[in-house]
């Protein structure tokens, strides 16, 4: 529909607003247009899916013809390509749909296309309804088969054993800091980082259909979420007991059999347990964000906007860290984060987890890492992967 004709139609709608017959006819004609567009979109999505199936055939033949030596299974999931597709969607978008919302639609289309190539089993730190679950769905889309694990170690094990193809674990929260269990997981595993997800943490005050709000006696949530909403709870529910449970998903699950309880949790938990969001965005700090890592076996090709993570085992001497950082600065590589962890079982020895901009295939990144090697006991490249797009 041209701009002019849609304006004319709006005028027409205004003139005939009291004339219900005309209004109904006009509505019907717009809906016919929507049906026709839906028809085209559906055909195009299926055409896209058929192309993805062709890509899958190429990937399978590649293995069958023994083109690679390092794997007997074709790798269908290509995070660098997905990042490029999503970036292109956002760059060419002209609205009225917002760039990010449009990219989320394409995220789901790609998720379905990948599922058609090969269903993907993704382990995440559970239970169902946690923010890690939300991060897994945000990154892989809803067509992926997401499987909850009890601990971060279990996520690593599941991926190592090949029972899940990839894993999703939290690594840092903007207000609570780094998740040590995840960093330590890399010290005893050879898995790689193949992607990252950033998730703004928005908390909801959830109730079930049978909840009697006037009679609330308990509010369940994970202790971190209770802490993130402390001020809001002090103002709105100062006299209701706050009960810390193992996860937000568990908090939401408990409402099923309790009419006198509420829970604080995210959107995924609300949807998963069919709860009503009585209040939304109740966190005291609205910019609170958690970063998650995607772990897997394979090295990822450059996407054009990548990060590289390394873990460095330093010599136990004064000034060791300064020496390690010099090559990064010399080769113009910018470091985005550094974390220190004890190097077990050695007492007082430390490892540094360093994130930098760029892919290991880029000359300055590989030169910087090569220059670090002689200065330390060990350097391991945890992975080069696309920066979070959404
Ligand atoms: O380009 C590919 O390698 C594809 O398999 C196609 C496609 C897509 O739908 O665009 C699907 C899955 C991959 O993770 C990346 C992209």
CA–centroid distance, residue 355 to ligand 1 (Å) = 27
* Host H or E run for residue 133: helix 131-140
Percent of the chain surpassing pLDDT 70: 93
- Quick one: average pLDDT of 86-94? 98
Does the beta carbon of 117 lie inside 6 Å of ligand 1? yes
Task: Give me 4's structure tokens.
Answer: 């002019």
What rounded mean pLDDT belongs to the chain? 92
299-324 pLDDT per residue, tens: 999 999 999 999 999 988 888 899 99
349: confidence class by pLDDT, cuts 50, 70, 90: confident
CA–centroid distance, residue 207 to ligand 1 (Å) = 39
Q: Whose CA is nearest to atom 3 of ligand 1?
A: 78
* Rounded CA separation 268/129 (Å): 5
CA–centroid distance, residue 119 to ligand 1 (Å) = 13
Pocket probe for ligand 1: among 51, 53, 55, the residue whose CB has the most ligand atoms within 8 Å is 55
213-272 pLDDT per residue, tens: 999 999 999 988 999 999 999 999 999 999 999 899 999 999 999 999 999 999 999 999
Task: Name the β-bridge partners of 383.
Answer: 309
Does the beta carbon of 143 lie inside 6 Å of ligand 1? no
Per-residue pLDDT, 18: 53
Of the ranges 10-19, 66-75, 301-310, which is most confident? 301-310
Residue 17, pLDDT above cutoff 60 = no
Query: How distant is the alpha carbon of residue 389 from its chain centre?
Result: 10
- Quick one: average pLDDT of 72-95? 95
Given the cut 0.95, state whether the ipTM is greater than it: yes
- Of ligand 1's listed atoms, the one at least distance from the Cα of 51 is 6
CA–centroid distance, residue 51 to ligand 1 (Å) = 9
Q: Whose CA is nearest to atom 8 of ligand 1?
A: 110
Strands 177-178 and 166-173: antiparallel
Per-residue pLDDT, 11: 52
Look at residues 316, 318, 358, 352 and name the one whose alpha carbon lies nearest to residue 337: 352
- Quick one: average pLDDT of 325-336? 97
Pocket probe for ligand 1: among 51, 57, 59, 110, the residue whose CB has the most ligand atoms within 8 Å is 110
Lowest mean pLDDT among 26-40, 75-89, 331-345, 351-365: 331-345
Residue 8, pLDDT above cutoff 60 = no
135-162 pLDDT per residue, tens: 999 999 999 999 999 999 999 999 999 9
Does the beta carbon of 81 lie inside 6 Å of ligand 1? yes
Lowest mean pLDDT among 20-24, 206-210, 222-226: 20-24
Helix and strand counts by DSSP (H, E) for the chain: 13, 15
Pocket probe for ligand 1: among 57, 114, 122, the residue whose CB has the most ligand atoms within 8 Å is 114
Look at residues 84, 131, 152, 93 and name the one whose alpha carbon lies nearest to residue 268: 131
**Can you give the pTM of this predicted structure?**
0.89
* Rounded CA separation 124/115 (Å): 18
- Of ligand 1's listed atoms, the one at least distance from the Cα of 59 is 3
Per-residue pLDDT, 14: 55
Residue 327, pLDDT above cutoff 60 = yes
Residue 71, pLDDT above cutoff 60 = no
* Rounded CA separation 250/221 (Å): 8
Per-residue pLDDT, 13: 52
- Of ligand 1's listed atoms, the one at least distance from the Cα of 109 is 9
Residue 356, pLDDT above cutoff 90 = yes
Does the beta carbon of 134 lie inside 6 Å of ligand 1? no
CA–centroid distance, residue 103 to ligand 1 (Å) = 15
Instruction: Tell me the HSE value of 316 on the side-chain side, using a 13 A CA sphere.
Output: 7
Residue 112, pLDDT above cutoff 70 = yes
Residue that wins the pLDDT comparison between 15 and 381: 381
* Rounded CA separation 316/6 (Å): 72
Q: 363: which residues sit within 8 A by CB, 6+ positions away?
A: none
Q: Whose CA is nearest to atom 9 of ligand 1?
A: 110
6: confidence class by pLDDT, cuts 50, 70, 90: very low
Does the beta carbon of 113 lie inside 6 Å of ligand 1? yes
* Rounded CA separation 307/362 (Å): 11
Per-residue pLDDT, 1: 37
Lowest mean pLDDT among 15-29, 72-86, 115-129: 15-29
27-47 pLDDT per residue, tens: 999 999 999 999 999 999 999
Does the beta carbon of 60 lie inside 6 Å of ligand 1? no
Phi, psi for 312 (deg, rounded to 5): -115, 130
Per-residue pLDDT, 372: 97
Residue 369, pLDDT above cutoff 90 = yes
Does the beta carbon of 55 lie inside 6 Å of ligand 1? yes
Task: Give me 195's structure tokens.
Answer: 């992607």
- Quick one: average pLDDT of 358-365? 98
Residue 16, pLDDT above cutoff 80 = no
Q: Whose CA is nearest to atom 6 of ligand 1?
A: 52
CB atoms within 10 A of CB 103: 20
Does the beta carbon of 250 lie inside 6 Å of ligand 1? no
């Amino acid at each position: 529909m041209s701009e002019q004709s849609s304006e004319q139609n709006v005028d027409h709608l205004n003139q005939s607003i009291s004339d219900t017959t005309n209004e109904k006819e006009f509505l019907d004609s717009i809906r016919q247009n929507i049906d026709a567009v839906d028809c085209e979109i559906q055909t195009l999505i299926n055409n896209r899916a058929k192309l993805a199936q062709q890509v899958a055939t190429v990937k399978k033949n590649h293995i069958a013809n023994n083109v690679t030596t390092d794997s007997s299974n074709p790798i269908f999931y290509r995070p660098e390509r997905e990042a490029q597709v999503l970036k292109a969607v956002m760059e060419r978008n002209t609205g009225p749909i917002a760039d990010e919302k449009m990219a989320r639609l394409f995220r789901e289309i790609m998720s379905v296309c990948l599922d058609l190539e090969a269903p993907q089993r993704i382990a995440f730190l559970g239970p169902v309804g946690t923010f890690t679950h939300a991060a897994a769905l945000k990154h892989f889309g809803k067509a992926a088969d997401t499987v909850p694990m009890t601990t971060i170690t279990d996520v690593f094990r599941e991926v190592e054993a090949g029972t899940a193809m990839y894993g999703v674990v939290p690594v840092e929260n903007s207000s609570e800091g780094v998740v040590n269990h995840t960093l330590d997981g890399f010290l005893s595993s050879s898995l790689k980082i193949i992607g990252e997800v950033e998730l703004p943490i928005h908390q909801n005050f959830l109730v079930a259909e049978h909840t009697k709000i006037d009679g609330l006696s308990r509010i369940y949530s994970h202790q971190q979420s209770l802490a993130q909403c402390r001020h809001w709870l002090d103002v709105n529910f100062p006299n209701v007991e706050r009960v810390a449970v193992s996860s937000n998903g568990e908090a939401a699950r408990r409402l099923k059999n309790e009419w006198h309880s509420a829970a604080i949790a995210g959107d995924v938990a609300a949807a998963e347990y069919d709860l009503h969001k009585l209040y939304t965005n109740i966190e005291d700090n609205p910019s609170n964000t958690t970063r998650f890592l995607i772990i897997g076996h394979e090295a990822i090709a450059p996407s054009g906007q990548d990060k590289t993570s390394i873990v460095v085992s330093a010599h136990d001497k004064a000034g060791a860290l300064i020496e390690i950082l010099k090559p990064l600065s010399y080769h113009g590589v910018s470091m985005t984060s550094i974390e220190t962890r004890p190097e077990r079982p050695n007492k007082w020895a430390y490892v540094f987890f360093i994130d930098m901009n760029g892919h290991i295939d880029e000359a300055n990144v590989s030169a910087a890492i090569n220059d670090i090697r002689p200065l330390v006991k060990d350097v391991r490249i945890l992975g080069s992967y696309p920066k979070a797009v959404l």
